[in-house]
Structure 1
């Protein structure tokens, strides 16, 4: 299984990017990981918030194949413990398809992305800055693999 992370826009804070890269490097030990950065849309007179999310959503949904698994990270999604997330990841490893995870831009994900996602998960009921959400997601992926392998990181 290959893991694909879809981020809308670049990571703004260099210190967050350093942390994200640290966990991406660690994840390579468990599974190939690829980051896809979708160019964000700009709001203006011709582009309201819904249209921005729709256009970004189209870019996101263009990436995975129909048989791949898509997880949408959204504050309205299901919250899980690290162990539950590891169990979900374990079940996904049984398929030969790729796993895609989408994190929206400042306005979030479109309704279409949420409808087409196989799972909608939430990191918190609180709204997190996108850079921080990215860091938490890659850390939780790493943590999930260490849980599945019985490695001491999770302790």
Structure 2
């Protein structure tokens, strides 16, 4: 099993890097984990709709370049299917029957290019709140680990 987490934007905060590293280490017993950080485009203050669209397109091109046609792609999107930790575990079971590579995608500050959402096998949401994409990486990584632990019947998920 291969798990890829593609994220637009660089992590700067040490506490986030440390937390993500801990969950990636824990996840390594379930398969190979690859974290891919893609450059984000600078968004000018008061950017026009056209400028925002161009930014999403550039970031979308970078994401698409990292996807294979065989990947099972789950995108984090505020309008996605609201799922629980248990739902994520079930989703991973189903996804692993279809592909040996699970790819999770977190967009930048403007969200995701519509092409990425269209390519996704599933758009998921952990709630209707907006989180900084750097913090979302930590939350997502922990939830992936939790989903694997749920699948094992581990007491980690109480």
Q: TM-score, normalised by structure 1?
A: 0.94
- Which digits, 9 at most, give the CA deviation of each residue in 1:92-116, with x for residues without a partner? 1223431111100111111111111
TM-score (norm: length of structure 2)? 0.92
- Which residue of the partner structure matches residue 79 of structure 1? 82
Task: Find the aligned partners of 2:89 and 2:153 in 1 and give their Cα distance.
Answer: 11
Whole-Å Cα distance in 2 between the matches of residues 96 and 128 of structure 1? Answer: 29
Give the match for residue 94 of structure 1.
97
Aligned pair count reads: 155
Residue 12 of structure 1 and its aligned partner are, at CA, apart by 2.6
Q: Is the 8 A contact 1:123 1:133 kept in 2?
A: no
Q: Which runs of 5+ in 2 are unaligned?
A: none
Q: CA deviation at 1:85?
A: 0.6
Q: Deviations over 1:25-46 (max 9, x none)?
A: 1000112110011111223589
Equivalences for residues 42-121 of structure 1 within 5 A: 42-44=42-44, 48-121=51-124
Cα distance in structure 1, aligned partners of 2:65 and 2:149: 31
How far is the alpha carbon of 1:15 from its aligned partner? 0.8
Q: Which stretches in structure 1 are left out of the alignment for 5+ residues?
A: none
